[in-house]
Chain A
Amino acid sequence: RKEVEQDPGPFNVPEGATVAFNCTYSNSASQSFFWYRQDCRKEPKLLMSVYSSGNEDGRFTAQLNRASQYISLLIRDSKLSDSATYLCVVNRDDKIIFGKGTRLHILP
C-alpha cells in the first residue's frame, strides 16, 4: 500500500461545478500536509497547507482528519484555469511524500 493515496482521475467537470479531492495517508506519524498543483510540463507549486481546523483560501477549502488519516480539497465555482493535476503531499520526519495526483479537466 502506498503511503499517500489519492482518488484516481481524471475528473472531467463542467465549469462552475464543485470538485472534491480525497487523499489518505498510511503513516500516523505524518506531521504536516499540503495540496500542490502541477500544470502540464511544469513543476509542482504549493496550493495550500492543510490544518486540522480546516482552512479556506478563496474558492479552495482544505480539511484534515487525523483520526481517519484523511485529507480533502474542495474547489468551488471551478474555472477553466483550475485544470491541472492536484497532488496530495505529506511531510513525515522531514521527508516529503507525494501522492500520485489526480488530474482535473474543467470543461467549458
Chain B
Amino acid sequence: SAVISQKPSRDICQRGTSLTIQCQVDSQVTMMFWYRQQPGQSLTLIATANQGSEATYESGFVIDKFPISRPNLTFSTLTVSNMSPEDSSIYLCSGWDSNTDTQYFGPGTRLTVL
C-alpha cells in the first residue's frame, strides 16, 4: 500500500494570496489526483496531475486558479491562487495504484480563507 503525506495540514490565509500544498507518496503510483471536499459534501475532483506535463482539469477548474505540478512519480503540488473565502475547503491529494486498483488518500489540507 502507499502512504501519502501532505503539508501543510491546515492554514488560514488572507484573500488575494496564494497557497501551495505539497503531496508526497512513499512509493510510485500510476496516477495522482487532487480533490476538494467542502463541509458535508463529497469529494470533487479538481484535476489529474500528470508527470512532466500539464494537469488535466475537470469542468469548473482552471490552471490559472489551481496550478498543479508533478515533477516525478511520487510528488505533486497544488496551488490555490488569488484565494477568496469560497476556496475554504479541505484539499486532498490521492494516488492510484493500478497494480492493486486501489486509491490512497493523503490526510488533507484544511484551508480557511478570511
Contacts and interface: CB of A to CB of B under 8 A. Distances in A.
Interface of A: 32, 34, 42-46, 49, 87, 89, 91, 94-101
Interface of B: 31, 33, 35, 41-45, 48, 92, 94, 96, 101-108
A97 B45 contact: yes
B42 A46 contact: no
B45 A43 contact: no
Given A42-B107, A43-B107, A91 B42 contact: no
B95 to A, nearest CB: 11
28 contacts: A32-B101, A34-B103, A43-B92, A43-B105, A43-B108, A44-B43, A44-B92, A44-B105, A46-B102, A46-B103, A46-B104, A49-B101, A49-B102, A87-B42, A89-B103, A91-B101, A94-B48, A95-B45, A96-B33, A96-B103, A98-B35, A98-B42, A98-B43, A98-B44, A98-B45, A99-B42, A100-B42, A101-B42
Contact of A100 (B41, B101, B103, B104): B41
A95 B48 contact: yes
Contacts of A98: 35, 42-45
Contact of A94 (B31, B41, B106): B31
A45 to B, nearest CB: 7
A97 B44 CA distance: 8
Contact of B105 (A45, A91, A100): A45
Contacts of A87: 42-43
Contacts of A46: 102-104
A94 B97 CA distance: 11
A99 B43 CA distance: 8
Nearest to B96: A96
